[in-house]
Amino acid sequence: MTETVAKPAYSRILLKLSGEVLMGDDAFGINRDTIDRMVDEIIAVSALGVELAIVIGGGNIFRGVAGGAAGMDRATADYMGMLATVMNSLALAEAISRKNVPARVMSAISIDQVAEPYVRPKALQYLEEGKVVVFAAGTGNPFFTTDTAAALRGAEIGAQVVLKATKVDGVYSADPMKDPTATRYSRISFDEAMVKNLGIMDATAFALCRDQKLPIKVFSIIKPGALQRVVLGEDEGTLVYA
């Protein structure tokens, strides 16, 4: 008897990881066990034939120097944050490559000795070849978050969905840590999320996804197997749709 293999709901996705999810239980930096577990989930999704690009934040690295950055010019601090995302991207790509899945880091700022410059046609070529592409350094501009970079890169590469991986398993009617009666939305429209001021992404990223009709799926990367369940179209997390 032939076993039925589940088909992915998406063929090309943009995964947005916050830097904080790499810390595990550490105060800052990268927890090796945590990154290895995430890499296993990423590889499992790639093995389904899904073309996968990733944008990762730098909060876990920048947190270690946050005290020294107090009072610093915003643009300078943002450029430091971009460098932190490059460090995270290199660590993630190296961990993926160690498990025999090709990964490429493409940076929005010029840092040629460390990462390739971001070039859209090249990124599309890598995705079509089955490589995991990690977009580093945000948009390359200060005053824009990595959420905005995820929305921008997702639109540029023609991703079918932006997967926002967090420590919370979806979007709730209230803070579930403070309100035990808070309920998780399975689906919610962009307009309803705006009216309820749910703060799913920063305003620029959210508006870009809304304008491009690019859905956002919010889920917990901490839950084992959650990424694969999202990609397979199961009821995991919250879908924000146009």
* Sign of the four-CA dihedral 24, 26, 28, 29: negative
Which amino acid is located at 24 in the chain? Answer: G
Burial of 9 (0-12, 13-18, 19+ CB in 10 A): middle
Q: Is 57 annotated as a binding residue?
A: no
Phi and psi of 50, rounded to 5°? -85, 130
β-pairing verdict for 51-56 and 12-17: parallel
Establish whether 206 is an annotated binding residue. no
DSSP code of 72? -
**Residue located via tokens 């499992």:** 44
140 marked as part of a ligand binding site:
yes
227 labeled part of a ligand binding site: no
Q: Do 108 and 137 touch, CB atoms closer than 8 A?
A: yes
N- to C-terminal Cα distance for the chain? 41
Question: Residue 189 annotated as binding?
Answer: no
Q: 166 labelled as ligand-binding? A: yes
Question: Does the annotation list 135 as a binding residue?
Answer: no
63 annotated among ligand-binding-site residues: yes
Nearest to 217 by CA among 194, 197, 201: 201
Judge whether 146 is annotated as a binding position: yes
Q: Per the annotation, does 16 bind a ligand?
A: yes
Q: Is 19 annotated as a binding residue?
A: yes
18 in a labelled binding site: yes
172 is in an annotated binding site: yes
| 196: CB partners within 8 A, 6+ apart | 173, 188
* 190 belongs to an annotated ligand binding site: no
Bridge pairing between strands 187-189 and 216-220: unpaired
- What is d(CA 30, CA 34) in angstroms, rounded to the nearest whole number? 8
238 among the known binding-site residues? no
**Binding region for UMP:** 58, 78, 139-146
**Binding region for ATP:** 16-19, 59, 63, 166, 172, 175
**Binding region:** 16-19, 58-59, 63, 78, 139-146, 166, 172, 175
